[in-house]
């Protein structure tokens, strides 16, 4: 069964902390994505990567960075967490070529206090 | 630029009745279209997709969707709703004209409530 696994379901962090969200996929997919989900705003793309060590900014990259050192792992980093980064974070992966659907992890609900 | 509109925040339907969740899209080239469902505190699950070919696409759990190019729509349908269909539904589009690596763009979601 195909799988995208996010390291935590729930996280509580303090303002100013550096936060790491980890995502691992076992499908050998080239593309990986980080989205943020907020009520009434749907899913918004933070960053994506279409190859190891490659990254592209999405619609809302400010305050975030990413790392992809291995094909199966894509990390989202909040350099200095702020309360407005409290949200549900969703990782996804897909094959290249465009026709493949994206597979999602179970989500990480991050609360910054 | 790509965009998706889901005009209804909430759809209510009685169990056993047909349901429709609306989606319209905007792309500069050719669209690939997707529907996903999200249950509480879970990630998104893929339901169905339109890539090419037959405009009526069948997917998981008895759902189907019809691609209408002239109306730029991709509405999700089911002939007979179940209480267990109650969830948040997202439509997404990818414009593959320029790159197969273009990310999915999602609508804001429609909450479906099926009443027994």
- Classify burial at B15, counting beta carbons within 10 Å of its beta carbon; exposed 0-12, middle 13-18, buried 19 or more: middle
What does DSSP say about strands A10-13 and A108-112: parallel, antiparallel, or unpaired? parallel
Q: How far is A84 from chain B (nearest CA, A)?
A: 19
Which residues lie across from B22 on neighbouring strands?
none
How many Å apart are CA B47 and CA A101, to the nearest integer? 10
Report pLDDT digits (tens) over A64-106: 999 999 999 999 999 999 999 999 999 999 987 767 789 999 9
Question: CA quadruple A97, A35, A59, B68: dihedral positive or negative?
Answer: positive
Inter-chain CB proximity A102 and B104 less than 8 Å: yes
- pLDDT tens digits for range B7-58: 999 999 999 999 999 999 998 888 899 999 999 878 899 999 998 888 999 9
Q: Give the per-residue SS3 of B65-76.
A: EEEECCCCEEEE
pLDDT at residue B90, as a whole number: 97
Q: Which of the residues B10, B29, B31, B106 would you substitute to probe the A interface, choosing the one with the greatest number of A C-beta atoms within 10 Å?
A: B106
The residue count of chain A comes to 113
Output DSSP code: residue A53: T
The alpha carbon of residue A41 is apart from the nearest alpha carbon of chain B, in Å, by 5
Q: Do A58 and B103 touch (CB under 8 A)?
A: yes
> Which ranges of chain A would DSSP assign to H, the alpha helix?
none
With an 8 Å Cβ cutoff, the interface of chain A facing chain B consists of: 4, 9, 30-31, 33, 35, 40-43, 45, 48, 50, 58, 90, 92, 96-99, 101-107, 109
Q: What is the pLDDT of residues B76-90, one digit of tens each?
A: 999 999 999 999 999
Structure tokens at B25: 């899209």
Pair B79, B14: CB distance under 8 Å: no
Chain pair A-B, CB pairs under 8 angstroms: 62
Which pLDDT does position B107 carry in this prediction? Answer: 95
């Amino acid at each position: 069964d195909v799988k995208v696994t996010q390291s935590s379901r729930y996280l509580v962090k303090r303002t100013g902390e550096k936060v790491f969200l980890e995502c691992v996929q076992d499908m050998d997919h080239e593309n990986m994505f980080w989205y943020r989900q907020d009520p009434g705003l749907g899913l918004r793309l933070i960053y994506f990567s279409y190859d190891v060590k490659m990254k592209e900014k999405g619609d809302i990259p400010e305050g975030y960075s990413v790392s992809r050192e291995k094909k199966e792992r894509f990390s989202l980093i909040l350099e200095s967490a702020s309360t407005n980064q409290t949200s549900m974070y969703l990782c996804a992966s897909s094959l290249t070529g465009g026709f493949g659907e994206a597979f999602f992890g179970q989500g990480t609900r991050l609360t910054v206090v | 630029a790509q965009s998706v509109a889901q005009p209804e925040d909430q759809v209510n339907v009685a169990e056993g009745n047909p349901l429709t969740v609306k989606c319209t899209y905007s792309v500069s080239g050719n669209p690939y279209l997707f529907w996903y469902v999200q249950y509480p505190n879970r990630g998104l699950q893929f339901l169905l997709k339109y890539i090419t070919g037959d405009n009526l696409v069948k997917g998981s759990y008895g759902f189907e969707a019809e691609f209408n190019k002239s109306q730029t729509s991709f509405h999700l349908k089911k002939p007979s709703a179940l209480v267990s269909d109650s969830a948040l539904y997202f439509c997404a589009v990818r414009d593959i004209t320029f790159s197969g690596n273009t990310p999915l763009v999602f609508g804001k979601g429609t909450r479906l409530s099926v009443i027994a």
